Amino acid sequence: MIFNSLYERMYSVPSSQHSACTKYREKSVKEIQQLPAGSFSEWLKETRRAQLEDVGVDVPCGSCNLCCRSSYFIHIKPDEIDVLSRIPEDLLFPAPGLPEGNVLMGYNRHGCCPMLINNKCSIYDYRPLTCRIYDCRIFSAAGILAGGTEKRMINRHCQHWQFDYPETKDRDEFQAVRDAVKFVNEHADCFPDGKVPQTPSQCAMLAIKVYDIFMHALKRGESVSDGDFNRAIALRVMETYKQFEKAIEHG
């Protein structure tokens, strides 16, 4: 089977090297001060909409700017003219695996975005779409770490988010996202060539994009051992992901 470039870019690390879906230890309520993350179903709907429509998400960041200080490469699309005009060219380099014109902006030796000046984003009103749609709540929803030691501050911060579950749907969707992450983590061998998401962000976003498969595909609390069934689920995950990405491309 030949996969499109989007699939190949996202699923590029063999299962033997896979560590994107590393779980974090959820601390007790007494250990951390909780931050309200809102209704899970509403958050999930808005997160998916932001991806489909290329619009920003409303994250209650307050004064937090940990994402600007956590060694992230920022993807900037060629049509983000206003953004590109405000970033020095020497801070940009071609984005590997993406069409010409797509670039990345790196970070300094302290892991900070070079546009973070005096602890504030110097181009906030013209920040890249990547920044506008970034939401560290995806890691709390997926139950995984944002990364290794370079993301330690975000890893710690994510444990403070507390979603609300006002209806059964909220809890079911939350569990479906977790089940999606668990499936990819435990059944990478069911995907072609054992290729699975290579970063925690991709792992979490994959789960958010395909969660509905797991609303009914797996019975809660049961482990699936049937190889054919697992491969069928993996194929559905791939197809659902590609359909979501195609919807993004067509606006």
The b/e string for 191-202 (b: 16+ C-beta within 10 A; e otherwise) is: beebbbbbebbb
The partner residues of 128 in beta bridges, in order of sequence, read none
pTM: 0.82
Compute the distance between CA of residue 166 and CA of residue 38 in angstroms, rounded to an integer: 10
DSSP state, 72?
P
Give the residue among 160, 220, 170 at the shortest CA–CA distance from 33: 160
Give the pLDDT of the chain (251 residues) as one tens digit per residue: 222 333 333 333 333 333 455 565 554 444 557 899 999 999 999 999 988 887 888 898 888 999 999 999 999 999 999 999 999 999 999 999 899 999 999 999 999 999 999 999 999 999 999 999 999 999 999 999 999 999 999 999 999 999 999 999 999 999 999 999 999 999 888 988 777 888 899 999 999 999 999 987 555 445 555 677 888 889 999 999 899 988 877 66
C-beta of residue 107 within 8 angstroms of C-beta of residue 65: no
Residues in Cβ contact with 172 at an 8 Å cutoff, skipping those fewer than 6 apart: 215
Ranges of each domain in the chain: 1-57+136-147+158-251, 60-134
Q: Which backbone phi and psi does 163 adopt, to 5 degrees? A: -80, 155
Number of other CB atoms surrounding residue 222 within 10 Å: 7
Which pair of tokens denotes residue 62?
A: 């307050």
